[in-house]
């Protein structure tokens, strides 16, 4: 179990590496199916990095003017966490500006939504990073309800139908897409991704100095 300070430091380090290097590190460790579906893309900001706080829901009609379970789930979010939203929603938003502002007050650093979001203009203005499957103005109230949180959820995958995300896994998304690092591999993957990042910096410098790509690959190896 990591301390609060360790979690913050790990998040800071992950924010400095690319998903491509994290994916390569996971491949080397025999975990090739951790990438999220290409349809999951940035709608606000360009990068999300944080510890997974999972929330799931489903389409079901209900009465009333709010979703008490959603509000209760959001109250548990803490510092350096990313809310990961999953479920069988269609055409409705799971997440919007006001929830984002409430989460940010609790230290939340972004959201990954395997479904819909709205209020994009305001999310961007507030600088709250969100990756999502689609955008829609249609609210979830009366249509989609939270049914659980802080339990394993499944997001659509890049090389497999579904990627399992557990509370405490690490989620990283950038311009290339999203990837999930299992909690038991976080430090090993991070160390490897940082080494790959350092090698890439050296290769770029060598190319700028006039070496050919073939010479760089012979010197540094495949990246």
Q: Show binding-site residues for Mg(2+).
A: 119
Residues annotated in a binding site for substrate: 96-99, 118
User: What six digits make up the tokens of 132?
Assistant: 């999502």
Q: Are 129 and 48 in contact (CB under 8 A)?
A: yes
C-alpha torsion angle, residues 194, 178, 3, 85 (rounded to 10): 180
Instruction: Determine the Cα–Cα distance for residues 112 and 132; give it in Å rounded to an integer.
Output: 6
- The residue length of the chain stands at 223
List, as residue ranges, the binding site: 96-99, 118-119
- Which is it for strands 162-165 and 153-156: parallel, antiparallel or unpaired? antiparallel
Say how far apart CA 179 and CA 22 lie, in whole Å.
8
Return d(Cα 51, Cα 120) in angstroms, integer.
23
* 3 state SS for 47-114: CEEEEEEEEEEEECCCCCCCCHHHHHHHCCCCCCEEEEEEECCCCCEEECHHHHHHHHHCCCCEEEEE
């Amino acid at each position: 179990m990591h301390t609060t300070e360790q979690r913050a430091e790990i998040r800071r380090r992950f924010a400095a590496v690319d998903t491509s290097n994290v994916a390569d590190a996971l491949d080397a460790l025999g975990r090739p199916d951790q990438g999220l579906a290409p349809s999951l893309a940035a709608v606000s900001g360009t990068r999300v990095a944080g510890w997974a706080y999972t929330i799931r829901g489903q389409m079901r009609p209900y009465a009333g003017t709010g979703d008490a379970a959603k509000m209760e789930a959001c109250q548990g979010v803490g510092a350096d966490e990313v809310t990961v939203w999953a479920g069988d929603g269609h055409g409705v938003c799971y997440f919007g500006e006001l929830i984002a502002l409430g989460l940010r007050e609790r230290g939340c650093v972004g959201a990954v939504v395997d479904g819909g979001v709205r209020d994009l203009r305001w999310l961007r203005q507030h600088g709250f990073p969100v990756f999502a499957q689609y955008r829609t103005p249609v609210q979830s109230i009366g249509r989609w309800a939270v049914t659980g949180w802080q339990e394993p959820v499944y997001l659509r995958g890049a090389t497999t139908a579904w990627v399992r995300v557990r509370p405490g896994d690490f989620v990283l998304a950038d311009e290339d897409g999203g990837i999930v690092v299992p909690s038991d591999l976080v430090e090993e993957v991070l160390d490897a991704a940082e080494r790959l990042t350092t090698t890439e910096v050296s290769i770029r410098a060598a190319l700028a100095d006039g070496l050919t790509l073939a010479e760089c690959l012979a010197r540094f190896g495949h990246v």
